[in-house]
Structure 1
């Protein structure tokens, strides 16, 4: 079992992925990832909702683009449908990135939890980004796992939407991951799985059910010394905004045994600054800016 105090490691992910693919007789060229030295000074590159700068967020094309751009991890957002299924969607309502109002006019609510999975699967989650993504569906957690396994890591965020408070969402995420043992065991062995949340209560609830999975706390403001010390007793990562991150915070986190992944950084000059300061991971809409991978010719190409 890898140490939960170590930052998530891409080098192990790569070796594991290549070994599995070779043993299975599968060519690895489509998902050929660069050696660690080719990445930005060993910093984990975390694709925010997939490569959401080049494809509609949290869709299959965004995840595939992140893999093509050699991201170390794909970050997703976990919510629950009306009929209890876990899906990958960020906003608390469906309005911004789907055609839900046109397809279901007059509904009293447009939250993910107001719709069954079957209803959600009828929505177009791609056209808002561009016509070539028309018809892209909302993905289940299981579908996301199918896309990333053996290819890259997964950083799953427990939705902070208020209507999930006290409904057991962290526990359900832990249960579903535990019920996918071939994925869970391989991901843990490879250091290719972590969970994060803005809520201490949710992060602790998940940690209590699945303590072997590294867990991180997202911060909308700079964490205090008291928060850092408390988190160091049970958490593995702190994931603050780039605007609140400096060398003092990074060094303090590391002294407490915490990895630090910052969000959401799209400016190359700020990326370079953060790499020089010693962050462990950078969450970005454009993973290729950090990995040096060229933009894919077709971000929604099938591999």
Structure 2
């Protein structure tokens, strides 16, 4: 049994969005107490404080969005299992990040004439023929396991099964991925969550986790919807008004207006190129916060810069800096939480927590949990217990 002490309080019966005056009062109080600026907002919104959001599962230690990645994250004691939602040709909701399959499956071997085809052009049966784990062994030999070979792409149902079947009850943090390719996917998702007892009256009858275990999946914050798409946020507001929603933030094309910058140099990494991008103005940032708030979002999800090592940024997930102190403060002044993506290093947890960030998307759930004071756990033992 994995029992994890909780880091959070749940305020039931409280409106998801705080009035401006309450937000300012919360910020002022937390600043007076010497605490990070966002440290009181989470007690007034039904979302865990210091939220640990397992980005595609425990995706540092196991292939992203696969069964061992989600099982490990659940048993470590994360608050949320994060997944990207797409829909197959035959209408099944599946958890996969990329719009195509060639990065992390053997689609080129199984369907060589369709190697660059969209996920939406495959049936579930076709997707289940793919190996979604061997790429990880080739890319990360120090973390490779023979049991990762042949892992399957998961349906949403299978991710829900994982969330429900352990001692810990994590919530689900779901992104509508390229939603313009999947008209009606928001309603499809609502129908599925209701059928599985995660929304509506049935949700109140789900068995609760044991005392001391993670119980986010038993609370009104059990599902959080996230999207980069303004159109999808509007649709989610209509189809799932009772579900907490987060607008993800990006800088540049399709996102917040960026200041003029020189093109990426031939010898410049993408992380270094992203790191020197800046927002065009505070007003440009404000416009996205306003849209989020106007459409009922409880928070925003900005990107982060990772710690530099030897003059280079440490992670492929190092993006633009959209969580400057004034940016975090602006979101909190609007009564909105800030969940930062994607942060893996303790130095970055510390730096952004001091800015008041309310939670992190992370590939390294074990490091974030330890940062929050949880005892270290044997990840190998957890994986082996589940047959990996």
TM over 0.5: yes
* d(CA) in 2 for partners of 1:182, 1:79: 19
2:303 pairs with 1:241: yes
Equivalent-residue separation in structure 2 for 1:250 and 1:143 (angstroms)? 35
In structure 2, list runs of 5 or more residues that go unmatched: 9-35, 40-48, 138-145, 205-216, 257-283, 305-320, 371-375
Q: Does 1:229 align with 2:298?
A: no
Distance in 1 of aligned mates of 2:339 and 2:289: 14
Greater alpha carbon shift after TM alignment, 75-84 vs 289-298: 289-298
C-alpha contact 1:61 1:299 (8 A) present in aligned 2: no
CA distance in 2, matches of 1:91, 1:161: 13
Where do residues 126-145 of structure 1 align in structure 2 (5 Å cutoff)? 126-130=133-137, 131-145=146-160
Per-residue CA distance 1:21-57 (angstroms, 9 max, x = gap): xxxxxxxx2x3223328xx984111111001011000
Confirm whether residue 280 of structure 1 aligns to residue 367 of structure 2.
no
Q: In structure 1, what is the equivalent of residue 349 of structure 2?
A: 271
SS in structure 2 at match of 1:46 = strand
Measure how far apart 1:188 and its partner are.
Answer: 6.7
Query: What secondary structure is seen at the aligned counterpart in 1 of 2:4?
Result: coil
TM-score (norm. length: structure 2):
0.65
Task: Give me the whole-angstrom Cα distance separating, in 2, the residues matched to 1:80 and 1:174.
Answer: 14
Whole-Å Cα distance in 2 between the matches of residues 218 and 230 of structure 1?
A: 12
Aligned residues: 270
Superposed CA RMSD in Å reads 2.2
Counterpart of 1:70 in structure 2 is 77
> Alpha carbons of 1:169 and 1:228: their partners in 2 closer, same or farther (altered >3 Å)?
same
Q: State the alpha-carbon separation in 1 of the partners of residues 92 and 155 from structure 2.
A: 7
Counterpart in the other structure of 2:209:
none
Give 1:211's match in structure 2, choosing from 241, 246, 271: 241
Alignment gaps of 5+ in structure 1:
1-28
Q: CA deviation at 1:70?
A: 1.9
Contact 1:94 1:110 in 2 (8 A): yes
- Which residue is 2:129 aligned to? 122
Where do residues 167-186 of structure 1 align in structure 2 (5 Å cutoff)? 167-181=183-197, 185-186=203-204
Name the CA distance, whole Å, in 2 between partners of 1:137 and 1:284: 22
Per the normalisation by structure 1, the TM-score is: 0.82
Cα deviation, residue 232, structure 1: 1.3
Alpha-carbon contact 1:62-1:299 (below 8 Å) kept: no
For the 8 Å contact 2:56–2:69, the answer to whether it is kept is: yes
1:191 aligns to what?
221
Q: CA deviation at 1:133?
A: 0.3
TM-superposed deviation, 1:189: 3.0
Q: Which whole-Å CA distance do the structure 2 matches of 1:235 and 1:161 have between them?
A: 17
Q: Secondary structure of the equivalent of 2:326?
A: helix
Q: CA deviation at 1:100?
A: 1.2
Q: Could you tell me how far apart the structure 1 residues matched to 2:331 and 2:3 are?
A: 33
1:238/1:171 CA distance change after superposition, 3 Å:
same
Q: Please, which moves more after superposition, 154-163 or 90-99?
A: 154-163
